C-alpha cells in the first residue's frame, strides 16, 4: 500500500477514536450485569459445527445494552493503549468476535447498531409483544423459571424467564417478558442462549455501562434491509478498494474465504 495513503488512513482512524472512543455513557448507571453463552450452528450443511461466544447484557434504569464480550474487550484494550499514547497498539491477544453489533433495548423498541466501513448504521424493531405464557416451570442454574413461547423472524423460540429477577430484558432482541430471560433457544436447536453469570447488585454500586458512545451515537437510521445490503456491498468492495490503494494480496489471500457450499448452507438467526 502507498505509504502516504496508509499513513493518512491511520491518522483519520486515530483522530476519530481520540474524540469519541474514550467516552462512555456516564449517565447510565448499572442496575444489572449478566453474561450469556450463545451456542449456534452457522451452517445447515455442517450440523456438527457449533460456534460458542459470550455476550454481555448491561441493564440501566430505562434500557439495556447487548454486545459480544470479545468486542467489549477489543474496545477496552484499544482505549487503554490509546490513552497511554502508545505508537503501537497490539490487539493480537484479543479473540475475534463474529458479532460486531450492539443492541439497545427500551420498553418501546429494539435498536440495532453496526459499523459498516467508517459509517455507523442503525435500524429499529418493535418490542416483541406476541409472547405466549405457558403454565410450566423449571429450575435453571438454581433460578426458578417460567416458560414462554414466541415465533420470531421465522423461528419458533422457547424462553425461560424469572420473575425473581424483575428486568424485562434478555439476549439479542428478546424482551417484553415479566422477568429476565434466563434461557432461550429455537426449537430446531440451531440457536441457544443461556445465562451463565450474574454480577451481584452490591458490586454494581457506582458503576456505569462499559459501552463506548462511539458504538451508538450519531448513527444513520436505515431499514434492516438497507443495513444488510450496505454490509454485503462493503465486503464485496473492500478488497477492490485496498487493491486500488496499492495493497498486494498473496495467492492464498486471493482465495475466497467463503465457499459456495457455505453460502448455500448459511443459517442466520433471523430467517425472514
Q: 150 lies in a domain? A: no
Between CA 73 and CA 132 the distance in angstroms is: 36
The verdict on residue 81 lying in a domain is yes
Is 179 inside a domain boundary? no
Q: Which domain holds residue 96?
A: 3-127+187-250
In a domain, 115, yes or no: yes
Question: pTM above 0.85?
Answer: no
If residue 79 lies in a helix (H) or strand (E), which one and from where to where? helix 69-83
Looking at the structure of the chain, the number of domains it has is: 1
Phi, psi of 77 (to 5 degrees): -65, -40
Q: Are 68 and 54 in contact (CB under 8 A)?
A: yes
- How large is the average pLDDT for residues 75-85? 72
In a domain, 267, yes or no: no
72: exposed, middle or buried (C-beta count within 10 Å: 0-12, 13-18, 19+)?
buried
Whether residue 147 is contained in a domain is answered as no
Choice between 151 and 92, residue whose per-residue pLDDT is larger: 151
- Taking the CB of residue 19, how many other CB atoms lie within 10 A of it? 10
Asked if residue 169 belongs to a domain, the reply is no
Residue 5: its pLDDT value, please? 39
pLDDT at 201: 87
Strands 32-40 and 51-59: antiparallel
Q: Is 229 a member of any domain?
A: yes
Residue 1 has pLDDT above 60, yes or no: no
In tens, the pLDDT along 139-179 reads 999 999 999 999 999 999 999 999 999 999 999 999 999 99
Amino acid at each position: 500500500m502507498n505509504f502516504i495513503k496508509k499513513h493518512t488512513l491511520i491518522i483519520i482512524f486515530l483522530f476519530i477514536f481520540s474524540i469519541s472512543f474514550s467516552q462512555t455513557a456516564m449517565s447510565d448507571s448499572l442496575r444489572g450485569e449478566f453474561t450469556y453463552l450463545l451456542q449456534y450452528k452457522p451452517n445447515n450443511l455442517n450440523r456438527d459445527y457449533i460456534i460458542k461466544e459470550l455476550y454481555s447484557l448491561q441493564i440501566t434504569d430505562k434500557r439495556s445494552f447487548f454486545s459480544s464480550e470479545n468486542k467489549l474487550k477489543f474496545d477496552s484494550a484499544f482505549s487503554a493503549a490509546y490513552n497511554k499514547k502508545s505508537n503501537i497498539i497490539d490487539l493480537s491477544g484479543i479473540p475475534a468476535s463474529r458479532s460486531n453489533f450492539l443492541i439497545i433495548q427500551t420498553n418501546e423498541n429494539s435498536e440495532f447498531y453496526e459499523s459498516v466501513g467508517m459509517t455507523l448504521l442503525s435500524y429499529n424493531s418493535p418490542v416483541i409483544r406476541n409472547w405466549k405464557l405457558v403454565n410450566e416451570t423449571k429450575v435453571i442454574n438454581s433460578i426458578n423459571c417460567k416458560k414462554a413461547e414466541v415465533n420470531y423472524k421465522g423461528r419458533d423460540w422457547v424462553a425461560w424467564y424469572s420473575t425473581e429477577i424483575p428486568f424485562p430484558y434478555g439476549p439479542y432482541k428478546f424482551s417484553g417478558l415479566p422477568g429476565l430471560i434466563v434461557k432461550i433457544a429455537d426449537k430446531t436447536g440451531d440457536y441457544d442462549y443461556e445465562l451463565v453469570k450474574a454480577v451481584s447488585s452490591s458490586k454494581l454500586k457506582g458503576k456505569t455501562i462499559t459501552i463506548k458512545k462511539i458504538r451508538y451515537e450519531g448513527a444513520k437510521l436505515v431499514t434492516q434491509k438497507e443495513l444488510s445490503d450496505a454490509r454485503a456491498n462493503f465486503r464485496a468492495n473492500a478488497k477492490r478498494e485496498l487493491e486500488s490503494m496499492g495493497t498486494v494480496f498473496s495467492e492464498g489471500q486471493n482465495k475466497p474465504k467463503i465457499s459456495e457450499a457455505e453460502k448455500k448452507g448459511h443459517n442466520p438467526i433471523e430467517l425472514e
